[in-house]
Structure 1
Amino acid sequence: MTSSYDLAIIGGGPACGPAARRCRQAGWSVAIFESGLLGGVCPHTGCNPKKVLMGPAEAVGMARHLAGKGLTGEPQPDWPAMAAFTRTFIDPVAPWLAEDYRKADIEVIHARAAFTGPNTLRAGNTDIAAKKILLAVGATHRRFDFPGVEHLATSDDFLALQKLPARLVFIGGGFVAFELAHLAAVCGARATILTHGDATLRRFDADAVARLVAATRAMGIAVHTNAPVTRIDKEAHGLCLSVPDLEIAADMVVNAAGRPPHIRGLALDLANVAAGPAGIRVNEFLQSITNPAVYAAGDCLDAPYALTPTADLESRVAAENMLTGNTTPINRTGTPSVLFTQPPLAMAGLTEADCQAQGIAYTKKEYDLSDAFPWQRLGEHPGYSKTLVSPDTDQILGAHILGHAADEIINVVALAMRQGLPAKALRDAIWAYPTCGYYLRYMF
């Protein structure tokens, strides 16, 4: 059996939908090939369930900060109830998307497709020919090969827990490890973070990270650097992890060590699609550098960001370029990144280390947000901001914010950066008072 389409999309996550709808609206025949749940990681096993679970945890954290300042007692997390509430957000996603694509006359094939040639695929028993192919396969869990690797759980497993284990270890020093460790610790588990390198959260500003790591340890979370796991053993009362000069007991060990592109099994060589460890190699139009019929978007890209908003942006840009013949180069200026810990850490643009490495002149301003009214009234520590501005043009080069509402404040900064507004625009704006955003005037 053979089918033909104008556009075939491999992967049904956030990098799929915008391109599928735009090309279908333009009159193209479109098919999506997805072997898992429509919607991908973000709504099912990533951003959304994580954030729903964090709601009660954030309330507990705020209550603890306000203990003795007008609150007595402490709310108690109910993990089974939290898990049940989370399912109310997850379960409707795939059926809703399937119906939405059906109404849009976009065909969905529940199978994993792989290349058989530059413009051809095979999915199950079906051969597919397509004028254009969009790779939107996302990322997957990193593989390990130490003894006892079969005892590793994934972040998917953690987010699907019906009961929270007492002792949790997270292998990795990035977004997932810190976010899940904070969530687990606030909800009563003993959490440990192990990273093989000498630093954590390398994408973020080092000074902000140092403050967050100190706050993490103050919460009772153990953070070990230079701690590669060499083996995991199953014992009578749980698991035992071996790292150099250390053994750690756990009830669950979560692989949170980054997410490489999910490109294994695509037979990229048969389509002459270039890729490396970081993902599919594309030009500024998101077109494969070696196969002009193939485009890519989302976490499978060799690109600076692996975020849901950038996957959406890349999908829209890829669609425009497929339709118009490469007229819209990708522009990721003003992309915000947020670490949803307690408190959150947010950034946009360059770090101070980036500026130094690239020889970019900058003016730095640091501000202790924990001394400012909106944070003091919540009893929250720490709070910190660092902003980097061009001394010649007053353009914002980077912003790094740690503390309550950092995840919302960074959106304003990111908008200013994307629209080319100078730092003066934030200093001169009339902000509502007393809000966290008001203090942007002092951060720049």
Structure 2
Amino acid sequence: MPANPAHAFDLIVIGAGSAGLAAAGRAAQLGARTLLIDRAQVGGTCVNRGCAPKTLLGYGAAWSHTVTRCLRTAYAADAWADAIARTRAEVTRLHDTHFTQLANAGVQWLCGTASLRGRGIVRVQTDAGKTTLRARQIVLAAGAHPVPLPVPGAELACTSDDVFGWDTLPASLIIVGGGVIAVEMASTLARFGVRVTLLTRDACVLPEFDAALSEAATQALASCGVDVILNADIARVEHDAVNGGGVTVYASTPGNDIPRVLRAQHVLSAIGRAPNTVGLGLHAAGVKLDARGHVAIDRHFRTRARGVHAVGDMCGASPRQLTPVAAAQGHYVAERLFGKGIKLPDMSAVPMAVFCDPAIASVGLTEADARSRRPDLGKRPRLETGDDKRAPADCIDVVVRRFVSLEQRFAGTGMESLIKLVCNARSGRVLGAHIVDNAAPEIIQALAVAVRMGVRLKHLRTTVGLHPTAAQALLSI
């Protein structure tokens, strides 16, 4: 240890996102002398550029759009300034909350750029200069960043991170991508009055979700004015000199030899996220990367370097880049290092949601996964023993309920809600649940517990529901 004991820690956590906050907070509560380092603001992507601000803007878009459509007393485009101001105020409040929680737990905070310099050694560059620190254990939790477009003119594109800095909205926007971030941004900005075109190279949006939810998402985007172009490969981006500003996007589509030309004020890349590994000194410390560029770890989140762990979006073990998954990993590592030890986080029934309009949520197996029994499902729910002798199609029952909620009837949209359950045909066990409704994220959270605990279709059908709610349809399916 260095001569200066102020520079010695039991744990140094690099990255103050969900994973880092969980690891640092729990370790300090367990008595470890803990330092948390980040080059930016506390909270990581979730608080500053992800979950919290995009959900808040989604609420603003929903309320503004509904009031405009139903009561004719407001205009969506005029609501952006108020919505972004409220969002930024809430992000600031969350910063203060996190700093208070860190202080109460006994976590020390340092704003700077950290890199590994050998076993247990961390070099930090701050505004005041360079500092060398030592720690018994190090946790890497540096997160991920948006992937730029892999085409000429990529520097002209923005990302979802940039949207939260907009004081005014563009009149038109092209979004490249078909995943959760692309769909949420398209839905939110379209409801604020932006003319949105969404390009995806896949045959559908949200390809990782059940097919019924993917179809519903496409319909939902169309209903709020988004032009969805499927099977489109972007070729290049150029300045639009013809119309006095903006960008021109050239995209190839099946059956067309001539690229399709699209123009808008901005183009936004939402094609995925890559781990933040550059500049961390991983090679010098003996930390290895896997084939996808993520930090390679074992089942306990240990890297190849002794005393160095990795959690969250930068490591290769995360089934999905989700805040609760990252937080669970960080909490586990802290408990394992400084507590009495706990079981590995159960990732068999991790719920997911897309905050579009109407919202989409899912937990467990999709119908396609259940029927194909894909070998890469890991710890996700599997068919029960005894069904192996039957054909996969015969092992699965799918029940679907479609209805128009009171919310959508009041809004006058006629937009259908959907509840789809994928069940084991023999036992009735629910293997997956997929919901389309603005209440879907709240419903799926409770249903995730039920799926994980082995709820059966008969249990749902014999439970008395609460009326009038969208969730009641789940019990009469």
Q: TM-score, normalised by structure 2?
A: 0.85
Indicate the SS of the match to 1:123: strand
Which residue identity does 2:272 align to in structure 1?
A: G
Q: Which residue matches 1:294?
A: 308
- Write the distance in 2 (CA, Å) between the matches of 1:320 and 1:29: 14
Cα distance, 1:377 vs structure 2: 5.5
Deviates more, 1:272-281 or 1:339-348: 272-281
User: 1:327 Cα shift?
Assistant: 4.6
In the alignment, the residues of structure 2 paired with residue 249 and residue 374 of structure 1 have an alpha-carbon distance, to the nearest angstrom, of 35
More off after superposition, 410-419 vs 3-12: 410-419
CA distance, structure 1, for counterparts of residue 328 and residue 468 of structure 2 = 34
Whole-Å Cα distance in 2 between the matches of residues 151 and 281 of structure 1? 33
Query: CA separation of 1:103/1:208 partners in 2, compared to 1, >3 Å: closer, same or farther?
Result: closer
Counterpart-to-counterpart distance in 2, 1:301 and 1:389: 32
Q: Is the alpha carbon distance of 1:63 and 1:278 closer, same or farther for their aligned partners in structure 2, counting shifts above 3 Å? A: farther
Q: Aligned runs of 1:373-388 on 2, under 5 Å?
A: 376=409, 379=412, 380-388=414-422
Consecutive unaligned residues in structure 2, runs of 5 or more? 253-258, 375-382, 384-394
**Preserved CA contact (<8 Å) 2:65 2:192:** no
Q: Give the TM-score of the pair, scaled to structure 1.
A: 0.91
Query: Does residue 300 of structure 2 align to residue 285 of structure 1?
Result: yes
Cα-to-partner distance string for 1:153-172 (whole Å, 9 max, x where unaligned): 12121122111110011111
In structure 2, C-alpha distance between the alignment counterparts of 1:337 and 1:292, rounded to whole Å: 34
Q: 1:239-277 CA deviation, whole Å, 9 max, x = no partner?
A: 111112211111111121111121222232223323232
Identical-pair percentage:
28
Report the counterpart of residue 459 of structure 2 in structure 1: 425
- Out of 408, 429, 433, the residue aligned to residue 442 of structure 2 is 408
1:390 aligns with 2:424: yes
Partner of 2:58: 54
> Which one is further off, 299-308 or 35-44?
299-308
Whole-Å Cα distance in 2 between the matches of residues 93 and 412 of structure 1?
25
SS of aligned partner of 2:368? helix
Q: 277, 289, 293: which is aligned to 1:263? A: 277
Deviation at 1:435, TM superposition (A): 0.9
CA distances 1:104-149 after superposition (whole Å, capped 9, x unpaired) = 3311121121222243222222222222111111110103342222
1:76 is aligned to 75
- Report the Cα distance in structure 1 between the residues aligned to 2:305 and 2:461, rounded to whole angstroms: 47
User: How far is the alpha carbon of 1:96 from its aligned partner?
Assistant: 3.8
| Distance (Å, rounded) in 2 between the aligned partners of 1:134 and 1:393 | 43
Letter in 1 for 2:433: A
SS in 2 for 1:102: helix
Moved more, 129-138 or 389-398: 389-398
2:111 is matched with 110
- Specify the SS of the correspondent of 2:305: coil
How much has 1:373 moved relative to structure 2?
6.0
Residue of structure 1 equivalent to 2:46: 42
For this pair of structures, how many residues does the alignment match? 436
Q: What secondary structure, in the 3-state scheme, does the structure 2 residue paired with 1:131 have?
A: strand
Distance 1:343 1:166 in 2: 23
Which of 227, 233, 238 matches 2:238? Answer: 233
Q: Deviations over 1:187-228 (max 9, x none)?
A: 111001112333321211112211221231233211122222
Query: Once structures 1 and 2 are overlaid, which stretch shifts more, 428-437 or 96-105?
Result: 96-105
Residue 10 of structure 1: how far off its partner (Å): 0.7
Match for residue 195 of structure 1?
Answer: 200
Q: Which moved more, 1:13-22 or 1:166-175?
A: 13-22
Name the counterpart of 2:98.
97
How far residue 375 of structure 1 moved from its aligned partner, in angstroms, is 5.3
Q: 2: distance between equivalents of 1:7 and 1:428? A: 50
| Equivalent position SS for 1:253 | strand
1:392, distance to aligned residue in structure 2 (A)? 3.7
| Contact 1:153/1:253 (8 A) holds in 2 | yes
